[in-house]
């Protein structure tokens, strides 16, 4: 399944050659590469945890290994490429070029991401203009190894306004032999002028069987039944599935489901036990996962009612939409205002009970 032997958890994106379920996106890039008309800027987008950063680094390794232009090409959409006929973006991670990229020592590769705040020791909340300012000068330089200069920004959504404008300036006057790869979880947050100047690669949520297979590979200790269930609630994201496994999300999911199965009359003692458990978790991760899972359940109910084709189902939709909207606001307020998590969970389930009765 994998090009390399993997550890118990997936390697970081720049050293991960294991990318499943994104053959269509890979084929799109490879086709552009082989055409000799390679766009200078690509927007790699899709939900969290499906391999966007892995694909960006996979492209970077591929281009820097194969892509020495013959001439300067026609401008914005491309430099002429050598007459090779690769069939995939796979590269040998032991190749000297790949090893330098992974180590961060390749002169023609630049990786932009949130930096660490020296005062707090934590990652900053955004990518600042200081971190992006070097991109323009870096890309305008002659490639040190005679091929391309490649920049990966992960993620572009995290750029502040000044950083976004600095990237836009590069896109407006793209240097020759330059490749800019923007990873984006939510392209709608980016400037329209940035989106319009990029070729888009849209990655799709992974199939459940793909997630289950990856879980078995990345963490052999996960039971097959658990892997299957995690895949069902991961919304197409291997990253989310791994987080759920690490943070006890599967157990919380089963507890939530068990309580919901007691509708129309909720098991209140069982609900209090869940509230106590989430309140005791000092990290807040279990509560966050519970909010996501409850929100997912509500969305499924609303979608199921809306597509049921029966007038009675449509008529009963309003109470569920109201619960979904109110709980979404309440969950956000809990995170920001440090509200009583147990009381929030109790109120959420009681509102669900009320909507179900209606």
Q: Give me Rg for the CA atoms of the chain.
A: 24
The CATH classification number of 13-202 equals 3.40.50.300
Distance CA 111, CA 121 (A): 20
pLDDT tens digit sequence for 98-138? 999 999 999 999 999 998 888 888 888 999 998 898 898 89
Q: Of 141, 193, 203, which is closest to residue 167 (Cα–Cα)?
A: 193
pLDDT of residue 308: 64
pLDDT of residue 102: 93
Q: Of 198, 119, 141, which is closest to residue 164 (Cα–Cα)?
A: 198
Report residues of the chain scoring pLDDT below 50. 1-7, 69-83, 309-314
Task: Provide the CA 316 distance to its chain's centre, in angstroms.
Answer: 34
Lookup: tokens for 70: 């013959």
155 and 186 in contact (C-beta within 8 Å)? no
Domain boundaries, the chain: 13-202, 247-357
Distance CA 110, CA 108 (A): 7
Distance CA 77, CA 220 (A): 45
CA dihedral angle for residue 173, residue 175, residue 177, residue 179, rounded to 10 degrees: -60
Distance CA 185, CA 44 (A): 8
DSSP annotation of 336: H
pLDDT tens digit sequence for 245-254? 998 999 999 9
Lookup: tokens for 17: 């050659």
Neighbour tally for 22: CB within 10 Å: 24
191 and 183 in contact (C-beta within 8 Å)? no
pTM tops 0.85? no
Quote the Cα angle for 104-55-16, to 5°. Answer: 60
């Amino acid at each position: 399944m994998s090009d390399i032997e993997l550890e118990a958890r997936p390697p970081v994106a720049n050293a991960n050659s294991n990318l499943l379920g994104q053959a269509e996106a890979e084929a799109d890039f490879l086709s552009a590469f082989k055409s000799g008309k390679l766009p200078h800027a690509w927007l790699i987008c899709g939900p969290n945890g499906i391999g966007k950063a892995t694909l960006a680094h996979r492209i970077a390794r591929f281009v820097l290994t194969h892509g020495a232009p013959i001439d300067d090409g026609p401008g914005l959409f491309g430099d002429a490429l050598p007459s090779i006929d690769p069939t995939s973006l796979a590269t040998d991670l032991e190749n000297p070029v790949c090893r330098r990229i992974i180590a961060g020592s390749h002169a023609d590769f630049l990786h932009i991401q949130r930096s660490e705040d020296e005062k707090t020791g934590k990652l900053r909340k955004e990518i600042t203009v200081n971190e992006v300012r070097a991109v323009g000068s870096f890309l305008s330089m002659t490639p040190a190894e005679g091929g391309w200069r490649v920049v990966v920004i992960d993620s572009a959504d995290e750029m502040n306004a000044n950083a976004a404008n600095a990237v836009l300036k590069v896109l407006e006057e793209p240097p020759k032999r330059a490749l800019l790869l923007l990873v984006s979880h939510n392209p709608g947050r980016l400037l329209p002028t940035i989106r319009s100047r990029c070729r888009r690669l849209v990655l799709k949520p992974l199939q459940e069987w793909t997630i289950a297979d990856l879980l078995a590979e990345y963490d052999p200790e996960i039971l097959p039944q658990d892997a299957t269930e995690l895949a069902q609630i991961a919304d197409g994201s291997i990253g989310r599935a791994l987080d759920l496994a690490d943070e006890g999300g599967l157990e919380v999911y089963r507890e939530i489901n068990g309580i919901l199965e007691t509708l129309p009359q909720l098991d209140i003692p069982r609900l209090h036990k869940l509230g106590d458990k989430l309140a005791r978790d000092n990290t807040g991760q279990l509560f966050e996962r519970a909010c996501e899972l409850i929100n997912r359940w509500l969305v499924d109910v609303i979608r199921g009612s809306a597509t049921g084709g029966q007038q009675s189902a449509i008529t009963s939709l309003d109470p569920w939409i109201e619960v979904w909207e109110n709980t979404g606001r309440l969950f956000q307020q809990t995170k920001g205002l440090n509200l009583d998590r147990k009381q929030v969970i109790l109120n959420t389930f009681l509102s669900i009970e009320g909507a179900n009765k209606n």
